[in-house]
Amino acid sequence: MGGDQGPFITLSSAIMAIKNQPNLHLILCGDEIIITETLARLNISKEKFANHKQLSLFATSQVVTMTDKPIVALRSKKDSSMRKSLDLVNEGRAQACVSAGNTGALFSMAHFVLKTLPGVDRPALISSLPTHDDDKHVFMLDLGANVFCDSHVLYQFGVMGSVMAEQVDGISKPRIALLNMGEEAIKGSDHIKLAALELSKDEDINYIGFIEGCDIFSNKADVIVCDGFVGNVALKTCEGVARLVYEKSKAAFNASLVAKVFGSLLKPSFKKLFKTMNPDQYNGASLIGLRGIVVKSHGNANIEAFYAAIMEAVKEVERQVPEKIKNSLEQGLSAR
């Protein structure tokens, strides 16, 4: 029921997903009347929905709004679509939860309901970003779940990020880097240096050292680790720069008749460029480190973007990401 644009977007994405994934079953949590009416607009009648092989309903009486404080939502919205979807995962009746709702409430509820894996102090928000190489991307965590992280938590993020890159992207020995104010070993805060030491001691982690913000998209690393404050600021700065480049380019090519002519000639190249940079295809940040799979979509996601979030959840289910993270952390702890 969440998201800035309501259930029409999420249900349209759900229909797209089941058409492309014949073995996928989606449980739609939310208000029964709103869901059935919206599906009817999408050519799935109430009768057809009742007998659908890939869609089912879990009716709820509450909705977590975008303005609800996390602690209030956790305590008073126990029959919300967000809470019940997490309960279904916890009970083993669903394998993943995908939500475009209130970010803080989702984090609080997911942490409370699913709990962290053994060996994980805090879950982290991870997502993929484009790189200079069109066919490759980089994972980055934490993107906002934790404002400050000590060295051991950053080490855990490195392990979890390595598992994501290996299992979801099939990268053998993913390159792990710590985001820092410089590449030199002497730079950075004490907890960053200690995290670097801990990562370098783990023989199962391919730690390559520090990386600067200007190299996030350089394909020098497969996974970039940082605390949630730094990660969130970096991510939103990058999104802002991408919008700036797009708007400036559009304005430049409309400045004069000559510019318009050149713009029309270059349009195919720029279309390909902006398609690569389009955040919709990277929608779906995962809250990893929990005993279940939770994928957070942008609240303003369109149909294609929310579909990407569903597909991210499908991949993580198929690769058994939580179990692989648990095993990797256990191996790392036993080796130390």
Q: At what angle do helices 151-169 and 303-319 cross, to 10 degrees?
A: 100
Residues of the chain with pLDDT under 70: 1-4, 270-282, 332-336
CA–CA separation, 7 and 134 (whole Å): 33
- 121-281+320-336 is classed CATH 3.40.1500.10: no
CATH of domain 1-114: 3.40.718.10
Query: The whole model's pTM is what?
Result: 0.87
pLDDT in tens, 206-253: 999 999 999 999 999 999 999 999 999 998 888 788 778 778 877 887
pLDDT for position 336: 46
Q: Tell me, yes or no, if the two domains 1-114 and 121-281+320-336 fold the same way.
A: yes
> Would you state the torsion angle of the CA atoms of residues 304, 306, 284, 113, taken in this order, to the nearest 10 degrees?
-170
> For the chain, which residues make up each domain, given as ranges?
1-114, 121-281+320-336
Radius of gyration of the chain, Cα coordinates, nearest whole angstrom: 21
Neighbours of 261 (CB within 10 A): 11
Q: Which amino acid is at 209?
A: G
Chain length of the chain: 336
pLDDT for position 256: 82
CA 283 to chain centroid, in Å, comes to 6
